[in-house]
Amino acid sequence: MTPIFALVDCNNFYASCEKLFRPDLAHTPVVVLSNNDGCVVARSKEAKALGIKMGIPIFKIKQQIQQHGIQVFSSNYSLYADMSDRVMRTLEDMAPRVEIYSIDEAFLDLTGIQSAVSLIDFGRQVKHTIDRWIGITVCVGIGPTKTLAKLANHAAKKYTATQGVVDLTDRKRQRKLLALTPVQDIWGVGRRLSARLQAMGIHTALDLADTSAKSIRQHFSVVLERTQRELNGEPCIQLEQIPPTKKQIICSRSFGARVTSRIQMGQALCEHVTRAAEKLRKEQQQAKLLTVFIRTSPYQNNTPQYSNALSAQLSRPSDDTRDLIQLSMSLLDQLWRDRYHYAKAGVVLSDFYDIGTYQAELFDQPSIHTNSRQLMNVVDTINHSGRGQVFFARQAVKKGWAMKREHLSPAYTTRWNGLIQVN
DNA sequence: TCTGGGGTCCTAGGACCC
DNA sequence: TCTGGGGTCCTAGGACCC
d(CA A343, CA A255): 6
Per cent of chain A over pLDDT 90 is 82
**Cβ of residue A74 lies below 7 Å from strand B:** no
**CA–C1' distance A57–B2 (Å)?**
8
User: For residue A415, what pLDDT is reported?
Assistant: 77
pLDDT digits (tens, 9 = 90+) for A137-156: 999 999 999 999 999 999 99
| Residue A327 is assigned to a structural domain of this protein | yes
| Residue A218 is assigned to a structural domain of this protein | no
**Cβ of residue A279 lies below 7 Å from strand B:** yes
Task: Evaluate whether A385 touches A326 at the Cβ level (below 8 Å).
Answer: no
Task: Evaluate whether A179 touches A204 at the Cβ level (below 8 Å).
Answer: yes
Using DSSP, state whether A182 is helix, strand or coil. Answer: strand
Whats the size of chain A, residue-wise? Answer: 423
Neighbours of A330 (CB within 10 A): 13
Per cent of chain A over pLDDT 70 is 96
Provide the pLDDT confidence category of residue A373 given band limits of 50, 70 and 90: confident
| Residue A311 is assigned to a structural domain of this protein | yes
**Cβ of residue A222 lies below 7 Å from strand B:** yes
Question: Is residue A422's pLDDT more than 90?
Answer: no
d(CA A353, CA A367): 16
CATH number at A326 reads: 3.30.1490.100
Q: Which protein residues, judged by their CB atom, are less than 7 Å from any atom of strand C?
A: A 101-105, 150, 186-194
d(CA A32, CA A53): 12
pLDDT digits (tens, 9 = 90+) for A246-293: 999 999 999 999 999 999 999 999 999 999 999 999 999 999 999 999
Provide the pLDDT confidence category of residue A400 given band limits of 50, 70 and 90: confident
The DSSP bridge partners found for residue A167 are A142
**Runs of H (alpha helix) within A232-355:** 262-282, 321-335
Question: Residue A380 belongs to what domain range?
Answer: 248-357+366-385
| Residue A189 is assigned to a structural domain of this protein | no
**CA–C1' distance A21–C14 (Å)?**
41
Residue nearest to nucleotide B6 (CA to C1'): A250
Question: Is residue A327's pLDDT more than 90?
Answer: yes
| Residue A173 is assigned to a structural domain of this protein | no
pTM reported for the whole predicted model: 0.93
Provide the pLDDT confidence category of residue A20 given band limits of 50, 70 and 90: very high
Instruction: Name the helix (H) or strand (E) containing A176.
Output: helix A171-180
**Cβ of residue A219 lies below 7 Å from strand B:** no
| Residue A275 is assigned to a structural domain of this protein | yes
pLDDT digits (tens, 9 = 90+) for A23-59: 999 999 999 999 999 999 999 999 999 999 999 999 9
Contacts of A256 (CB under 8 A, 6+ apart): A36, A401, A402, A403, A404
**CA–C1' distance A324–B17 (Å)?**
35
Question: Based on the structure, what is the number of domains in chain A?
Answer: 1
**Cβ of residue A173 lies below 7 Å from strand B:** no
| Residue A238 is assigned to a structural domain of this protein | no
User: Can you tell me the mean pLDDT for A113-142?
Assistant: 97
User: For residue A37, what pLDDT is reported?
Assistant: 94
| Residue A234 is assigned to a structural domain of this protein | no
d(CA A235, CA A216): 17
d(CA A35, CA A100): 23
- Contact positions of strand C to protein Cβ (< 7 A): 14-18
